[in-house]
């Protein structure tokens, strides 16, 4: 009998409060604070306003918060500003959601889009690349079932487990693998370890004390490197988001400038020639 169907409802029940809190936090951070407070009040009293004017204002605020959340425009403060933003987006031929992707680079009140500096965009791209590369180190460490060991005599690095050891870089042509079955065979001679290090390592395989040390160290690795991996992945996501927002702002600025240029300098259509103008003029005789 499978235990998965009985575990899933329990997991969902345990995660439900966290998912609700996460959803409300996302609403709050995206500027939907009125909806957030309205949901809290709805838990206390499920009726609306009894006064018609207040209920109409309440409905407008809910519409405004929904508008801000769906189009990612938290800077809009009232319905009139929302109407002006919609008219501006229609004028430049872009959707509100597309323009909202540029976030703070769009000044909705002045109806302007600021162009990010190229140096800042390049720096953010390089920072994202560097953090992405650095993130692989704690991720690999957290997902490994072995311990990274540096041998003192040969200065070699290796992943050491309960009954095996292998080189750190498995893609290298000089990669090696040592197990209990290859310790006494020629297959185990391709390691960079000295005979003393190899003998000590093979003697530790399947040793209860050694196995306990490996298990405890792997657990510690996961407790330390796991949260560090999550933090670095979050930072990486933030850098990627910042880079993408800058690219959106540059693209929107380009579209608006092209639109303005077409309005300022419309292409003149060629006037059709009359039959008289189309006929060649005869040369005058002297």
Q: What is the pLDDT of residues 228-251, one digit of tens each?
A: 999 999 999 999 999 999 999 999
**pLDDT top residue among 283 and 199:** 199
Q: What is the rounded average pLDDT for all residues in the chain?
A: 81
Stretch 10-28: mean pLDDT, rounded?
Answer: 70
Please, are residues 188 and 178 in contact by the beta-carbon 8 Å criterion? yes
- 97 CB contacts (<8 Å, ≥6 apart)? 70, 71, 72
Stretch 82-110: mean pLDDT, rounded?
Answer: 91
**pLDDT top residue among 56 and 284:** 56
Q: Does 108 score more than 80 pLDDT?
A: yes
Confidence of residue 188 (pLDDT cuts 50, 70, 90): low
Lowest mean pLDDT among 36-45, 155-164, 175-184: 36-45
Strand partners, 164: 179
Instruction: Report the pLDDT value the prediction gives residue 210, as an integer from 0 to 100.
Output: 87
- 219 CB contacts (<8 Å, ≥6 apart)? none
Give this prediction's pTM.
Answer: 0.68
Instruction: Report the pLDDT value the prediction gives residue 203, as an integer from 0 to 100.
Output: 87
What is the H or E stretch that residue 164 is in? strand 164-167
Instruction: Report the pLDDT value the prediction gives residue 40, as an integer from 0 to 100.
Output: 75
Instruction: Report the pLDDT value the prediction gives residue 237, as an integer from 0 to 100.
Output: 92
* Four-point Cα dihedral 17, 71, 99, 119, nearest 10: -20
* Four-point Cα dihedral 245, 241, 97, 40, nearest 10: -130
């Amino acid at each position: 009998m499978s235990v998965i169907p009985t575990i899933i409802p329990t997991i969902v029940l345990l995660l439900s409060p966290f998912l609700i809190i996460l959803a409300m936090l996302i609403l709050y951070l995206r500027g939907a604070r009125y909806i957030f407070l309205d949901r809290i009040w709805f838990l206390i009293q499920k009726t609306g306003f009894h006064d018609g004017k207040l209920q109409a204002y309440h409905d407008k605020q809910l519409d405004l918060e929904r508008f801000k959340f769906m189009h990612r425009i938290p800077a809009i403060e009232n319905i009139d500003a929302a109407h002006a933003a919609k008219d501006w987006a229609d004028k430049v031929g872009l959707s509100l959601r597309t323009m909202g992707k540029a976030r703070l680079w769009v000044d909705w009140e002045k109806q302007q889009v600021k162009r990010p500096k190229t140096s800042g965009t390049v720096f953010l791209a390089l920072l994202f690349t560097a953090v992405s590369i650095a993130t692989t180190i704690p991720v690999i460490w957290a997902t490994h079932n072995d311990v990274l060991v540096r041998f003192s005599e040969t200065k070699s690095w290796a992943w050491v487990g309960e009954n095996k050891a292998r080189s750190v870089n498995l893609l290298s042509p000089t990669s090696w693998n040592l197990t209990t079955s290859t310790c006494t065979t020629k297959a185990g001679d391709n390691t960079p370890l000295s005979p003393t290090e190899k003998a000590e390592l093979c003697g530790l395989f399947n040793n209860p004390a050694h196995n306990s040390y490996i298990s405890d160290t792997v657990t510690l690795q996961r407790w330390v490197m796991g949260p560090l991996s999550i933090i670095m992945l979050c930072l990486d996501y933030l850098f990627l988001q910042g880079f993408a927002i800058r690219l959106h702002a540059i693209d929107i600025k380009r579209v608006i400038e092209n639109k303005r240029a077409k309005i300022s300098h419309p292409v003149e259509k060629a006037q059709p020639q009359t039959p008289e103008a189309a006929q060649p003029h005869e040369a005058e005789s002297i």
